[in-house]
């Protein structure tokens, strides 16, 4: 079972991964965006870690809801409200349980990803974070490692796609041949989840 401490570790491990990979995220965004994705994610996840340490929410749902609110209030780019919605909606779907199962998390994350799709109007294949998140949700029903592998594969599979949503879509065909930065950061987020699960096992 996954408790609030597990979810706080997920968020701090994600923050560490974002710190480590910030330059790569910004490089990806400089090719098809405005070169701020690394900085946006770093600012957001540092703020998430800080607020979780200060407030120590006591349930998985409350951890993710607080993390999501913090992302929305600290990240200016498109990714802030989208990731914020992902975590808030996932947290809401987990309800007030003190502990949840991987299967329950998979279902809740599915609701979170659907909310991202609704907010941003993007679907699979539009070359966005959803191309990593949607396969991850599907595979999380199987295992944490399968989810991380699916997110990595999904992020890599955005390279040949043409962007149909967000800033990269302004480039039209010139967006082809580059990995989507948000799909790359989503793969980091799911990778951090698998890392924390591995350490807890
Ligand atoms: P901005 O585009 O405002 O500079 P970021 O650079 O932080 O924001 O984030 C860009 C990422 O946000 C993209 O790589 C993409 O994955 C994601 N994104 C942008 N628009 C959408 C959307 N409508 N739906 C889903 N994801 C989106
Ligand atoms: Mg950007």
How much distance in Å is there from the Cα of 25 to the middle of ligand 2? 9
Query: pLDDT, tens digit, for every residue of 55-106?
Result: 999 999 999 999 999 999 999 889 999 999 999 999 999 999 999 999 999 9
**pLDDT number for residue 51:** 98
Q: Compute the mean pLDDT over every residue in the chain, rounded to the nearest whole number.
A: 97
Q: What is the mean pLDDT of residues 151-171?
A: 97
Nearest CA to ligand 1 atom 14: 182
129 ligand 1 Cβ < 6 A: yes
pLDDT > 90? residue 193: yes
pLDDT > 90? residue 191: yes
**pLDDT number for residue 201:** 83
Ligand nearest to the CA of 185: 1
pLDDT > 90? residue 29: yes
Work out the number of other CB atoms within 10 angstroms of the CB of residue 150.
22
136: its two tokens:
């991850």
131 ligand 1 Cβ < 6 A: no
Whichever domain contains 134, its CATH number is 1.25.40.340
To test ligand 1's pocket by mutation, which of 120, 166, 187 has the most ligand atoms within 8 angstroms of CB? 166
Nearest CA to ligand 1 atom 21: 166
Range of the domain at 146: 2-200
81 ligand 1 Cβ < 6 A: no
Number of domains composing the chain: 1
Q: What are the C-alpha distances in Å from 58 to residues 12, 29, 95? A: 16, 36, 12
Distance CA 163, CA 170 (A): 8
Query: pLDDT, tens digit, for every residue of 82-92?
Result: 999 999 999 99
How much distance in Å is there from the Cα of 155 to the middle of ligand 1? 13
How much distance in Å is there from the Cα of 159 to the middle of ligand 1? 15
DSSP string over 96-161: T-SEE-HHHHHHHHHHHHHHHHHHH---TTSSSTHHHHHHHHHHHTT-HHHHHHHHHHHHHTTTTS
Query: pLDDT, tens digit, for every residue of 134-157?
Result: 999 999 999 999 999 999 999 999
Nearest CA to ligand 1 atom 11: 182
């Amino acid at each position: 079972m996954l408790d609030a401490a597990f979810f706080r570790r997920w968020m701090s491990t994600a923050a560490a991964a974002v710190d480590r990979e910030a330059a790569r995220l910004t490089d990806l965004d400089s090719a098809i965006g405005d070169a701020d994705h690394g900085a946006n994610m770093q600012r957001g996840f540092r703020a998430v870690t800080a607020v979780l340490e200060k407030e120590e929410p006591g349930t998985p749902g409350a951890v993710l809801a607080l993390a999501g609110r913090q992302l929305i209030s600290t990240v200016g780019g498109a990714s802030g409200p989208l990731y914020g919605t992902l975590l808030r909606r996932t947290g809401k779907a987990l309800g007030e349980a003190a502990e949840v199962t991987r299967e329950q998390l998979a279902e809740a994350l599915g609701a979170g990803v659907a909310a991202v799709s609704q907010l941003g109007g993007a679907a699979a294949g539009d070359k966005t974070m959803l191309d990593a998140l949607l396969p991850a949700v599907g595979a999380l029903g199987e295992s944490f490692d399968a989810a991380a592998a699916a997110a990595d594969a999904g992020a890599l599979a955005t390279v040949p796609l043409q962007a149909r949503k967000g800033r990269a879509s302004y480039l039209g065909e010139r967006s082809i041949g580059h990995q989507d930065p948000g799909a790359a950061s989503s793969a980091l987020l799911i990778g951090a989840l698998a890392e924390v699960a591995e350490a807890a096992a």
